[in-house]
Amino acid sequence: MDLSSANEPQKNAITHLRGPCLVLAGPGSGKTYTITNRILYLLEQKVPPERILVITFMKEAALSMQNRFQQMAGAAGHGGPVFYPVNFGTFHSIFYHILKESKALKSGELLKNSEKKNLIIPILKTYENSREHAAQGGQGQNALSEDAAQILSAIGYYKNTMDMPAAAAKAPAVWQQDFEAVCRDYEQTVKRTGRLDFDDMLYNCKRLLQEDGAVRSYWQNRFRHILIDEFQDINPVQYEAVKLLAADPYNIFAVGDDDQAIYGFRGSRPECLKRFQTEFGARQLLLDVNYRSMPEIVQTSLSVIEENRDRFLKRLRAAAEPGNPEGPNPVALHAFPDREGQYGYLCRSIAAGLQTGESCAVLFRTNSYMQGFAARLKAAGIAYEMKERAASIYEQFIVKDIMAYLWLASGKGSREHMLQVMNRPSRYISREAVGAGTVDFGKMREYYDRVEMAERQRREAKERLTCLEKQLLGIRGRSLRLAVSFILKGMGYEQYLRDLSRTEPEKWEEWQELLEWLKEDAASYADVEEWTRFQEEYARTLEQAKEEGRQRRGPQDRQQEGKPAVQLLTVHGAKGLEYDRVWIPDCNEKIFPHGTMPEESAVEEERRIFYVAMTRAKKNLELSYLTGTKERPRQPSRFLNPLYSREQ
């Protein structure tokens, strides 16, 4: 085994033999190199390969690490390919096999997400008539379906943390009081199906190891060395299960970086690193050399993350030499009055970057921002790829509502358009009043002349229809941007959204951003027909990209085919990746950190998310923020404060 290319901290980690060890691995510090070489070292020390267990969090990461190890093992064997039956897998796959081999599974068939939703919606309906829900005026099928997805996510959080209050807080506000009961009813329903919820594997395995001493002893003897990658992403249930899997001398080799813990919404707890060190008395090592980024990027990102209080102290350094002091700084910060100016700069900068042949990526806090920028790149004719697949931003219900209003204003609106928005905000217009084909307000008023109702109600209904007709006629002939603004303000649609999100202020913040983007996007098109054609073309592009994604080997294939494209990712999607040039737009409060008035613990995680984004960059990092307007001023992110300090 040749460790000549390893630095001293890597050698110390690779050759650690017995007992628990916590390896803090900074960004770009070669943790995969360290783990795979450690496996080879254990084999040289005559540890049987089947006694070694390597755990990762993602299936792709497990396969990648397994392939890399087998290649290295073959090269080290000097006699052609050699296969060692080392156990690689994710927490879920390993726990599933433990349950299966221990005969602790009644059924190995997992419930699909759609099946889980079908199980929980009837349960939610039973609570619809409760006093709390009745006060909300009922949910409606679409809203109930959206709530079901959020509640299932909250139930998953509970199963990973066993923290009922924190899980309930993640459910929609209207369901929080009933969440524990809903959770209990859902579990009983799942049991009756005889199937398995994905998140049940973790808890069921922990309970099996806890309660059955013979099973626990068998698996402790089966796995004498446990190596865990991305240990900062571990949740409390996984942590307790790992403790049960290990026996004296507790050969747990945990590799992670608390500064890169960004999955709190899934139940991950970075404090498990400190628990591990304290409870096991683990040896602590630090991989402190960053082989990825320029020194300026390393130091700037460190100045940001060092503002977090609850973290291991680390001194990190770059392997590369500093850039040319006479040349441009590898880290740049830009301010723009509005998103239009920011997007214009990004398009120009990305187009120039793609010409160099360097890998380029733009990182976003949320999928909606990413989708909005993707639409802008599409309109500008700049090639892009998205690692994460999501519905077009134009499929968002707010955009569909605005488009329905615009079609009605054009005089070509259909019955479906009218039904979609006639009571958004509520105008108490009856569905029966809307005829087939294009919308005819005269015939709708005639309906109220025929229908039996009190005269005052008849008059008010016709007046509301006349008002709506005049508003739609007033839009006709205006530019799309002005038309959208009038729909929002003059027709009360913005107030309707405010009322709809009154229990979820963060949702209103998200919708505000979408509305701002929508007005800017509207300004690029002459009329609703042209805008609709673009939206349809954009949807086809996404679908085509989805199909191509199934066939391509990886996100860099288009570059290999001679078609350079910028990668668009959320920060979470970019975890573990690296690019020559990285842009991070919208570095503003309420985006970084996300939400309104977050608690300090949430701010620390949001700062870690920002740090992960910064440390994806190898050669150049550009951050930008909006200064806003007098009507809607914007505040730069507090995470940028250390950058200002470094400039002074």
Confidence of residue 72 (pLDDT cuts 50, 70, 90): confident
Q: What is the spatial distance between Cα 491 and Cα 472, in angstroms, rounded to a whole number?
A: 9
Q: Is 480 exposed, middle or buried (0-12, 13-18, 19+ CB in 10 A)?
A: buried
Confidence of residue 142 (pLDDT cuts 50, 70, 90): low
**pLDDT value at 198 more than 50:** yes
Q: What is the spatial distance between Cα 166 and Cα 152, in angstroms, rounded to a whole number?
A: 14
| C-alpha 442, offset from chain centre | 48
Give the model confidence (pLDDT) of 574-589 as tens digits: 999 999 999 999 999 9
**Which two structure tokens, joined as six digits, stand for 293?**
């980024």
Q: Is 353 exposed, middle or buried (0-12, 13-18, 19+ CB in 10 A)?
A: buried
Percent residues over pLDDT 70 in the chain: 92
Query: What number is the average pLDDT over the span 349-355?
Result: 95
Helix (H, G, I), strand (E, B) or coil at 568: strand
Helix (H, G, I), strand (E, B) or coil at 621: strand
Cβ atoms within 10 Å, residue 201: 24
Q: What is the spatial distance between Cα 127 and Cα 134, in angstroms, rounded to a whole number?
A: 9
Of 239-253, 282-296, 425-439, the poorest mean pLDDT is in 425-439
Q: What is the spatial distance between Cα 506 and Cα 370, in angstroms, rounded to a whole number?
A: 18
Give the model confidence (pLDDT) of 477-531 as tens digits: 899 999 999 999 999 999 999 988 887 777 888 888 899 889 989 998 999 999 9
Q: What is the spatial distance between Cα 371 and Cα 315, in angstroms, rounded to a whole number?
A: 37
Q: What is the pLDDT of residue 49?
A: 95
Helix (H, G, I), strand (E, B) or coil at 612: helix
Q: Which residue has the higher pLDDT, 2 or 285?
A: 285
Percent residues over pLDDT 90 in the chain: 65
Q: What is the pLDDT of residue 535?
A: 93
Confidence of residue 439 (pLDDT cuts 50, 70, 90): confident
Query: What number is the average pLDDT over the span 350-369?
Result: 93
Q: What is the pLDDT of residue 540?
A: 86
Give the model confidence (pLDDT) of 415-429 as tens digits: 999 999 999 998 988
Q: What is the pLDDT of residue 500?
A: 86
**pLDDT value at 552 more than 50:** no
Q: Which residue has the higher pLDDT, 648 or 155?
A: 155
Q: What is the pLDDT of residue 648?
A: 52
* Full-model pTM: 0.84
Confidence of residue 544 (pLDDT cuts 50, 70, 90): confident
Average pLDDT of the chain? Answer: 89
Confidence of residue 628 (pLDDT cuts 50, 70, 90): confident
